[in-house]
């Protein structure tokens, strides 16, 4: 039987993959629980918003309540990742809760969600909006911020506070693991500005430019990928910074619920693959879970990426929701 491994004061176990990104709200600053995706180490008011062009708005937009039992849909993923098929300025999403639009607009990741009224999570809305030209995904986020302020009277501010974090450090200075390799740089990174009239980049190849065997992951993206067995978890990414990798580690999929800050000192972009066997779920009866040998997340980080998580106190930037209300009529 596989033994549960603990380290740096944490016990990791995987939970179901969630679709909602991290939102830390007023009144929710208690020490995080360790099992519950990442306040990113990036600023919430920051580089990505400045690079995208600052405040902007849709040309036209419609918001309608949806009381059906239909599954939620959207023209592209509403998570914090960069995967995005240009839509010609059209944004459509149906039967989504306000919290999904909130986290999309501010490029947040999954985590503890608290401090808002139940309707923000339970009431569903359809949003259809259009913008001129061919905006990027981050520009769509900025437009969604303006739509939320206009229609839901959303008011927010950010605060930086000291709190429990994990630092991602190299196990051996200057040396990475075999599954963390520098990207060859044949494709634009997520941070490379894309002009609307630019010729679309070539299709993503089936494997990474570094030589790692990865599925067809879009450049600049991180996400779950098929593992060697159905019982294991695996994350992969191509042409991403180590800061992005660190930020993504706070995720229900990994079981880490504390912000992870990049302290490796590595610059540039990398391809990576991380596979581990989730910790046994203590809520399940003995014998009900697979008896398979494999590395825990902490062991996989060290063996595959050459890195470790160190418990520290550090700056955590939080988004504070000052006001939000039911949407005004179209």
Distance (Å, rounded) from C-alpha 64 to C-alpha 75?
17
SS3 282: coil
| Tokens matching residue 286 | 């003995």
| Tokens matching residue 40 | 């990113």
Mean pLDDT for back-to-back runs of 10 residues, the chain (330 residues): 42 32 32 28 58 91 96 89 84 95 82 69 96 93 96 90 93 95 60 38 44 78 88 92 91 83 94 91 59 88 97 85 88
| Tokens matching residue 204 | 């993503």
Distance (Å, rounded) from C-alpha 303 to C-alpha 315?
28
Q: What count of other Cβ atoms lies within 10 Å of the Cβ of residue 58?
A: 23
The string of DSSP letters for 123-141 reads -EEEEEEE-SS---HHHHH
Distance (Å, rounded) from C-alpha 307 to C-alpha 263?
10
Strand order in the sheet with 307-323: 260-262, 155-170, 307-323
Alpha helices, DSSP H, located in 227-288 = 242-248
**Residue 210: its pLDDT value, please?**
59
**Residue 328: its pLDDT value, please?**
82
Distance (Å, rounded) from C-alpha 217 to C-alpha 222?
8
Give the phi and the psi of residue 127 in degrees, each rounded to 5: -125, 125
Give 60's contacts (C-beta < 8 A, 6+ positions apart): 129, 130
Quickly count helices (H) and strands (E) in the chain. Answer: 6, 13
Give the phi and the psi of residue 48 in degrees, each rounded to 5: -65, -35
**Residue 263: its pLDDT value, please?**
95
**Residue 183: its pLDDT value, please?**
83
**Cα distances (angstroms) measured from residue 180 to each of 55, 187, 204, 236, 300:** 36, 18, 19, 10, 12
**Residue 149: its pLDDT value, please?**
96
Q: Could you tell me which of 133, 155, 131, 142 has the C-alpha nearest to residue 53?
A: 142
Distance (Å, rounded) from C-alpha 13 to C-alpha 4?
9
- Put simply, whether the predicted model's pTM sits higher than 0.85 gets the answer no
Pairing of strands 155-170, 260-262: parallel
Burial 247-261 (b: 16+ CB within 10 A, else e): bbbbbbbbbbbbbbb
Distance (Å, rounded) from C-alpha 112 to C-alpha 144?
22
């Amino acid at each position: 039987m596989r033994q549960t491994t603990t380290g740096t004061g944490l016990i990791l176990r995987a939970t179901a993959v969630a679709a909602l990104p991290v939102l830390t709200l007023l009144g929710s600053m208690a020490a995080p629980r360790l099992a519950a995706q990442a306040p990113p180490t990036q600023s919430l008011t920051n580089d990505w918003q400045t690079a995208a062009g600052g405040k902007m708005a849709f040309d036209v937009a419609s918001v309608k309540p949806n009381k059906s039992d239909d599954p939620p849909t959207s023209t592209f993923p509403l998570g914090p990742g960069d995967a995005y098929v240009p839509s010609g300025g059209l944004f459509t999403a149906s039967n989504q809760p306000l919290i999904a639009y909130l986290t999309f607009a501010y490029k947040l990741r999954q985590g503890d969600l608290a401090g808002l009224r139940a309707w923000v999570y339970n009431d569903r809305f359809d949003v259809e909006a259009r913008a001129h030209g061919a905006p990027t995904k981050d520009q769509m986020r900025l437009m969604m911020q303006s739509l939320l302020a206009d229609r839901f009277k959303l008011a927010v501010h950010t605060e930086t506070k000291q709190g429990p974090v994990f630092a991602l450090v190299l196990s051996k200075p200057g040396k990475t693991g075999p599954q963390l390799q520098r990207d060859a740089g044949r494709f634009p990174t997520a941070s490379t500005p894309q002009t609307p009239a630019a010729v679309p980049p070539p299709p993503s190849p089936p494997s990474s430019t570094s030589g790692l065997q990865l599925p067809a992951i879009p450049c600049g993206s991180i996400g779950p990928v098929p593992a060697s067995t159905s019982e294991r978890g695996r994350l992969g990414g191509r042409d991403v910074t180590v800061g992005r990798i660190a930020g993504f580690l706070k995720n229900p999929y990994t079981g880490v619920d504390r912000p992870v800050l990049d302290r490796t000192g590595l610059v540039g972009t990398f391809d990576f693959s991380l596979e581990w066997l989730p910790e046994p779920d203590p809520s399940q009866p003995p014998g009900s879970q697979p008896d398979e040998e494999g590395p825990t997340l902490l062991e996989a980080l060290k063996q595959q990426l050459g890195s470790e998580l160190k418990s520290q106190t550090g700056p955590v930037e939080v988004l504070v929701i000052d006001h939000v209300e039911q949407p005004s009529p179209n």
